[in-house]
């Protein structure tokens, strides 16, 4: 995940924090196409991505993503009745200021790269995390809140990565009376309550699972942690969290407070809880998938109804200096849509004499809903080859 990284972008034109947009008003609903695909030279959003907007899987009570959201709501409601205010309809188009600057993401942080983030224009993005709403919600005076929404990231393609997914952000602010009553330092109280709340959440969702805390790095928290749970024989990362950077609180709330924050991925939790093997299934309209889940039911386990055969195609090309795997995946998605299951580099070598590097990528095509014909896959692959050569300026071999 991009935010864990303290590294720098691999592109030179990081967005300067000085270039700050007027705050986007509190809008809701599905954005219009012109609001997303703007014609700005910085725009890197395809129709494939636009078509995913407004689906609001997290607002459907009997969809696995909506079921998980509600289960987390219920848990926090039982733990701290009436405390957390909930938002789940914040507009997904936000300023770079909200998405990055206000949560202290450094000007040269890798997550700002147009290789990783969808830009509407130079100062506006599709939020790449729900942390984009921390500062504005604190400014509105809320001391405890949960913000759920769809988030967008350019990434590789496999069974657990999809360019749109859902996160829930949690924030809780403490005041002096709280840490005095607890007999703890402000940071101790925040850290202790955070860990207790999230371990309790893991047990609420997964039963009596083993949990462990891993030290982590995020620009917006210090100290920072990741929670892992032991599930089906392996340790699995389920969320990032930490004690909120004091500056965020001081700049947007009131001085003299302390807070914790967490961000969790709903798909990750739903895949584990409901045994969903491929993240694309959440976007399927197939009743054979949707009918297996019901509002409030955490006991459902996905029963695969079929696995249609996969078909793979390899393509090798000499890469150009600007080549990036995320750009390749974006292009393949824009042609093959949800038929693309995985894109992996299966071979790479550098010619000693010319210094040129060749990559061979395998594209796996499979439908979740039907059998694909050879003609249809060949036609898709032909288009992929043509556009890879034209758009990515690489030389096919």
Could you tell me which of 307, 318, 313 has the C-alpha nearest to residue 357? 318
DSSP label of 83:
T
Task: Write out the two tokens for 16.
Answer: 């300067």
Q: Does 219 bind ligand PHE (CB under 6 A)?
A: no
In DSSP terms, which residues pair with 228 in a beta bridge?
212, 237
Could you tell me which of 147, 137, 135, 129 has the C-alpha nearest to residue 76? 147
Report d(CA 119, CA 314) in Å as an integer. 30
Q: Does 263 bind ligand PHE (CB under 6 A)?
A: yes
Give me the least distance between CB of 261 and ligand PHE, in Å please: 4
Give how many residues touch ligand PHE by CB under 6 A: 13
Give me the least distance between CB of 143 and ligand PHE, in Å please: 16
Q: Does 163 bind ligand PHE (CB under 6 A)?
A: no
Residue nearest to ligand PHE (CB): 263
Residue among 241 and 329 whose Cβ is closer to ligand PHE: 241
Binding letters toward ligand PHE, positions 234-253, x by CB under 6 A: ------xxx-----------
Q: Which of 72, 189, 229, 261 binds ligand PHE (CB under 6 A)?
A: 261
Rg (CA), the chain: 22
Give me the least distance between CB of 331 and ligand PHE, in Å please: 25
Residue 392 DSSP SS3: coil
Q: Does 50 bind ligand PHE (CB under 6 A)?
A: no
Residue among 6 and 391 whose Cβ is closer to ligand PHE: 6
Residue among 165 and 282 whose Cβ is closer to ligand PHE: 165
Give me the least distance between CB of 208 and ligand PHE, in Å please: 25
Q: Does 165 bind ligand PHE (CB under 6 A)?
A: no
CB neighbours (10 Å) of residue 185? 11
Within 8 A by CB and 6+ apart from 335, the residues are 380, 383, 384, 387
Residue among 1 and 24 whose Cβ is closer to ligand PHE: 1
Residue among 165 and 361 whose Cβ is closer to ligand PHE: 165
Residues 109 to 138: which contact ligand PHE by CB under 6 A? Answer: 129, 131
Concatenating the DSSP letter of every residue in 133-198 gives GHHHHHHTT-SEEEEEEEEE-----BTTB-SEEEEEEEEEEE-HHHHHHHTS-HHHHHHHHHHHHH
**Could you identify the residue written with the tokens 């402000």?**
186
Report d(CA 351, CA 318) in Å as an integer. 10
Report d(CA 193, CA 172) in Å as an integer. 9
Residue among 2 and 273 whose Cβ is closer to ligand PHE: 2
Give me the least distance between CB of 3 and ligand PHE, in Å please: 4
Residue among 145 and 289 whose Cβ is closer to ligand PHE: 145
Q: Would you say 169 and 283 are in contact if contact means Cβ atoms under 8 Å apart?
A: no
Give the chain's end-to-end CA distance (angstroms, integer).
32
Residues found near ligand PHE in the complex (CB under 6 A): 1, 3, 129, 131, 218, 220-221, 240-242, 261-263
């Amino acid at each position: 995940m991009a935010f864990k990284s303290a590294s720098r972008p691999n592109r030179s034109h990081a967005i300067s924090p000085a270039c700050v947009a007027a705050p986007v008003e509190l809008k809701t609903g599905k954005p219009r196409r012109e609001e997303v695909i703007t014609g700005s030279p910085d725009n890197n959003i395809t129709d494939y991505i636009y078509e995913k907007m407004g689906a609001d899987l997290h607002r459907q009570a009997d969809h696995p993503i909506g079921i998980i959201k509600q289960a987390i709501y219920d848990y926090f409601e039982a733990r701290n009745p009436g405390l957390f205010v909930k938002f789940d309809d914040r507009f997904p188009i936000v300023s770079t200021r909200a998405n990055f600057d206000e949560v202290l993401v450094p000007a040269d942080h890798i997550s700002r790269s147009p290789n990783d983030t969808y830009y509407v224009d130079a100062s506006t993005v599709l939020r790449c995390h729900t942390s984009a709403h921390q500062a504005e919600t604190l400014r509105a005076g809320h001391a405890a809140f949960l913000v759920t929404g769809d988030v967008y990231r350019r990434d590789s393609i496999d069974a657990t990565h999809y360019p749109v997914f859902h996160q829930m952000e949690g924030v809780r602010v403490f005041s002096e009376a709280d840490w005095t009553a607890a007999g703890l330092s402000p940071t101790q109280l925040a850290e202790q309550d955070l860990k207790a709340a999230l371990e309790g959440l893991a047990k609420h969702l997964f039963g009596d699972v083993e949990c462990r805390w891993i030290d982590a790095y995020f620009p917006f928290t210090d100290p920072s942690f990741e929670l892992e749970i032991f599930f089906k024989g392996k340790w699995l990362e389920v969320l990032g969290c930490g004690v909120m950077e004091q500056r965020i609180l001081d700049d947007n709330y009131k001085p003299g407070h302390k807070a914790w924050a967490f961000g969790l991925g709903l798909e990750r939790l739903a895949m584990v809880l409901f045994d969903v093997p491929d993240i694309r299934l959440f976007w399927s309209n197939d009743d054979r998938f949707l009918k297996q889940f019901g509002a409030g039911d955490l006991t459902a386990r996905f029963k695969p109804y079929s696995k249609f055969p996969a078909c793979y195609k390899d393509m090798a090309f000499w890469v150009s200096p600007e080549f990036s795997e995320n750009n390749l995946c974006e292009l393949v998605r824009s042609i093959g849509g949800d038929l693309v299951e995985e894109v992996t580099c299966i071979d790479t070598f550098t010619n000693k004499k010319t210094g040129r590097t060749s990559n061979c990528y395998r594209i796996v095509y499979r439908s979740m809903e039907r059998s694909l014909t050879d003609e249809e896959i060949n036609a898709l692959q032909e288009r992929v080859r043509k556009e890879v050569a034209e758009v990515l300026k690489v030389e096919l071999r």
